[in-house]
Chains A and B, each alone.
Chain A
Amino acid sequence: MSVITRAERGARTKLPPEEPLIPQRTRGTAGYWLYLLPGFVLLLVIVVIPLFFNIYLTFTKWRGVRTPEFIGLENWFKIFTDEDFWTSFTNSIWMVLAMVVIPTTIGLIVAALLFDVVGRKFGGKVGSFLRATYYLPQILPIAVAGIVIGWMFRPGATGSVNQMLAVFGIPAYDWLGQMPSALLVLMGVLVWVQIGYPVVVFMAALQRVDPELYEAAELDGANWYQRFTAITLSIIRPEVFVVTLTCTIAALKVFGPVYIITQGGPAGATLVPAYYAYTEFFTKRNIGYGATIATVLTVLVVIVSIIFIRVQNSMERKERAGL
C-alpha cells in the first residue's frame, strides 16, 4: 500500500515535528504556508463553505428564491416517515452489490484466470488483449454507457434485447417499466461498467507473484481452484481491500446511470440518494429537504472513508512491523 502519506503515519505515532527537507537559513517554516494559500482559498470557497451552507439548509424550508425559512429539525424528522428516502438508501445496498461485490468477485476470478492460465499457457499477448477488452467499458463516459444500455432495453418489439429474446419465442418485455427488472438492468449496467477496474488492479498485483510458484503448485498436483485460494487470494488481499472500499464510496455516490436509464422509476423504485437529492433540489424545489438527503449521504460516505483510512493505516503499520 503506498497510498499512505508519511504525514499520516507521523500523526499516529506522535513523533516530534519533522524538519523540512530543505535546510533552513531563516528560522521557521512559515514561508511554506504561502504555497498552500491558493489551494486553501479554493478549498474554502468551493468545498468548505458550501458544505456548511448545505448543512445549514437542512434546518430550513427554501424554494430557492427569497431567504430560507428556518424550520428547525422538521426535515430531519421527515426522513423517518419518508418511504422514498428509505427506498433510496436500501437501493444503495443493491448498488454496492452491483458495483463492489459482484465486480470484485468476477474480477478476482477473471484476473486469476488471465494471469495463471491464459497468460502462462497461451502467451502474455492474449492475456493483455483480453484484459483490455474487460477494461473497455471503464473508459466510456458513464452517460454514454447508460444511453446505450437504455436503448438495448427499450420496451416493445424494437428493443435489441427483446428482439434477441424473440428468437427464442419469448414475448417482448417492458424491462425498465416494472420491478424488479428495472433495478436488475441498472445493476447489470453497473457491473458491466465496473468490471474492468478490479481486473486491471488485481492483474497488476499478481505481477508480484513469480509464475514459477504456480508451476510448482501445478506440478505438485494443485488444481486451479487450489492455486487460486492458496496463492492468488493471499497475495492480492491488500488490493482487494482498496478496490472494495473505493468502489463502495463510488457506489454510494452513484448518479449518472440512474438519471439516464431509469430516472428513479418505475414510481421511485430505483431511486438512489444522489438522484433523490438532485430531484428535490431541481425538480421539486424542496432545497432544504434535498440538502438533508445529501447530508445523510455525506455522513455515510465519511464513515466509510474513515474506516478506509484507518484500516489502511493499520495495514501499513503491520507491514512495517513485519519487515
Chain B
Amino acid sequence: MAATAIVPAGKVRTPRARGGMTKKRASDWVLLVAVILGALVVMVPFYLILVNAFKSPIDYATSGPFALPQAIDFTGIQNFWVRVNFPEKVWNSIFISGTVAVLAVLISLLNAFAIGVGRVRGRSWIVLLFLMANLLPQEALLYPLYYMFKSVHLYDSVWSVIIVFTVIQAAFGTYLLASVLGTFPKEVLEAASIDGATRWQILWRVVFPITRPTLSVLLIFFFIWTWNEFLIPLTFLPSNANQTVPVAISVLTGDRLMDVTTTAGAALLSIIPTIIFFLIFQRTLTRGITAGAVK
C-alpha cells in the first residue's frame, strides 16, 4: 500500500449544494459511462471472490468462475475456516494491530510533546531522523532484527512484530504530530502553567484532550497499516499459531494446491474484517486520507 500521508484534518469542504443540476450534454453521458466502466473493471476481482466463495467445487467445475452459484454453498469458506483456524488468526491480527496502534500513538504523543511544545534543541534533525526511520525499506533492518529477536527469544512471538511496528508507526506519528503540536495555541498552555500545572499535567489534561481527534485518526491508520503488513509478520512469525490473517492466507495458497472455491472463501473471509473496519471508521478515514495534502 502506498504510504498514505495523513494530517489531522481541518474541515474538508463539501461541494456546495446546488439547487438544480446543470444541463447534461451527450458528451457528459459518454464520460459518465467511461468512469462507470472503469469502476466495473476495478470491481471484477471482488465479483470473482464473492461468487466463487459460495460455490461448491463441482459447481465451479461445471459453470466456471464468472457464473453465479447455482446454490449457496459454504464448503470453500468452511475449508479455509477450519484449515487455518481462522478465529485464531483474526485474534492475532487484532491483538497485534490494536497494541501497536495504542503504543505507537502514545510514543508519538510523548515525542511530539517534547519537539512541538518543548522545542528541544536540534528538533528539526530529530524530526528528520524519525521521518527517515519510517521511510527506510524494512529489508535494511530485517536480518539484524531477525538475529536480535532470535538471541533474546522473541522470535516467533507476536511481541517481536508489535515492537517493530510500534517504532515504525510512531516514527511517522512523531513526524506528523510534532508539526501539529508546534502550532498549539500558546495562550492555553500559558494559562495552564499559571494555574500551577506541571508539564506532565499539561500534557495529559490539556494537550491530550484537545488533540484527541488527530490522535484517533492516527490510531485508526496505525491499526490498518499494521493489519495489512506482510514482510515482517511473514519473517518473524513462522508458526501457525502466531500468524496474522494476510500471512495465513498466503502460506495456505502458496502451495498452489488449494482449490479455487477455498481460495475465494479465504479471500472473502480475510477482507471482511477490513471492510467492517472501513465502514465503521469511514468518516474518520476519508477525512484523514483526503487531508493528506490539503491545507
Tell me the A256-286 residues at the B interface (CB within 8 Å). Answer: 256, 259-260, 273-274, 277-278, 281-282
Asked if B121 is an interface residue, CB under 8 A from chain A, the answer is yes
Nearest chain A residue, comparing its CB with the CB of B126: A36
Nearest chain A residue, comparing its CB with the CB of B245: A141
Asked if A247 is an interface residue, CB under 8 A from chain B, the answer is yes
Q: Which of the residues A36, A146, A211 comes within 8 Å of B110, measured between beta carbons?
A: A36
Q: Are A149 and B35 in contact (CB under 8 A)?
A: no
Nearest chain A residue, comparing its CB with the CB of B22: A121
Q: Are A148 and B267 in contact (CB under 8 A)?
A: yes
- Closest chain B CB from A26 CB (angstroms): 11
Tell me the B1-41 residues at the A interface (CB within 8 Å). Answer: 1-5, 7, 12-16, 18, 21-22, 24, 27-28, 31-32, 34-36, 38-39
Tell me the A52-87 residues at the B interface (CB within 8 Å). Answer: 53-54, 57, 64
Q: Are A39 and B137 in contact (CB under 8 A)?
A: no
Residues from chain B with a CB closer than 8 A to the CB of A21 are: 116-119, 184, 186, 189
- Given that A1-B295, A201-B290 are contacting pairs, would A50 and B7 also be in contact in the complex, using a CB cutoff of 8 Å? no
- Closest chain A CB from B81 CB (angstroms): 15
B100-132 interface code vs A (CB 8 A; 1 in, 0 out): 000000010011011111111101111111111
- Closest chain A CB from B177 CB (angstroms): 10
Q: Are A204 and B22 in contact (CB under 8 A)?
A: no
Asked if A177 is an interface residue, CB under 8 A from chain B, the answer is no
Q: In whole angstroms, what is the CA distance A224 to B35 when docked?
A: 14
Q: In whole angstroms, what is the CA distance A323 to B246 when docked?
A: 48
Residues from chain B with a CB closer than 8 A to the CB of A217 are: none
Q: In whole angstroms, what is the CA distance A124 to B12 when docked?
A: 15
Tell me the A296-323 residues at the B interface (CB within 8 Å). Answer: 297-298, 301-302, 305, 309
Q: Are A47 and B133 in contact (CB under 8 A)?
A: yes
Q: Which of the residues A32, A133, A274 comes within 8 Å of B42, measured between beta carbons?
A: A133
Q: Which of the residues A5, A10, A43, A215 comes within 8 Å of B175, measured between beta carbons?
A: A5
A21-36 interface code vs B (CB 8 A; 1 in, 0 out): 1110100010111111
Q: Are A3 and B139 in contact (CB under 8 A)?
A: no
Nearest chain A residue, comparing its CB with the CB of B148: A50
Asked if B293 is an interface residue, CB under 8 A from chain A, the answer is yes
Q: Are B228 and A7 in contact (CB under 8 A)?
A: no
Residues from chain B with a CB closer than 8 A to the CB of A305 are: 131-132, 135
Q: Which of the residues B5, B111, B141, B178 comes within 8 Å of A47, measured between beta carbons?
A: B141
Q: Are A141 and B128 in contact (CB under 8 A)?
A: no
Q: Are B35 and A274 in contact (CB under 8 A)?
A: no
A186-203 interface code vs B (CB 8 A; 1 in, 0 out): 000000111101001101
Q: Which of the residues A117, A158, A239 comes within 8 Å of B293, measured between beta carbons?
A: A239
Please count the residue pairs between chain A and chain B whose beta carbons lie under 8 angstroms apart in the complex: 374
Q: Are A42 and B121 in contact (CB under 8 A)?
A: no
Residues from chain B with a CB closer than 8 A to the CB of A195 are: 42
Q: Are A22 and B124 in contact (CB under 8 A)?
A: no
Q: Interface residues of A toward B: which range?
A: 35 or more
Q: Majority SS of interface residues in chain B? A: helix
B160-173 interface code vs A (CB 8 A; 1 in, 0 out): 00011011101100
Q: In whole angstroms, what is the CA distance A202 to B206 when docked?
A: 35
Q: What are 13 of the A-B contact pairs (CB < 8 Å)? A: A3-B7, A11-B125, A25-B193, A36-B114, A36-B115, A134-B42, A136-B46, A147-B250, A158-B260, A201-B292, A207-B290, A211-B15, A298-B137
8 closest Cβ pairs, A-B complex: A204-B290, A32-B118, A11-B124, A50-B144, A143-B246, A5-B179, A160-B65, A35-B114
Q: Which residues of B contact A (CB under 8 A)?
A: 1-5, 7, 12-16, 18, 21-22, 24, 27-28, 31-32, 34-36, 38-39, 42-43, 45-46, 48-49, 64-66, 107, 110-111, 113-121, 123-133, 135-148, 163-164, 166-168, 170-171, 174-176, 178-179, 182-184, 186, 189-190, 192-194, 199, 202-203, 224, 227-228, 230-231, 234-235, 245-247, 249-250, 253-254, 260, 263-264, 266-267, 270-271, 274-275, 278, 286, 289-295
Q: Which residues of A contact B (CB under 8 A)?
A: 1-8, 10-11, 17-23, 25, 29, 31-36, 38-39, 42-43, 46-51, 53-54, 57, 64, 99, 106, 110, 113-115, 117-124, 130, 133-134, 136-152, 158, 160, 163-164, 192-195, 197, 200-201, 203-205, 207-208, 210-211, 215, 218, 224, 238-239, 242-243, 246-247, 249-250, 252-253, 255-256, 259-260, 273-274, 277-278, 281-282, 287, 290-291, 293-295, 297-298, 301-302, 305, 309
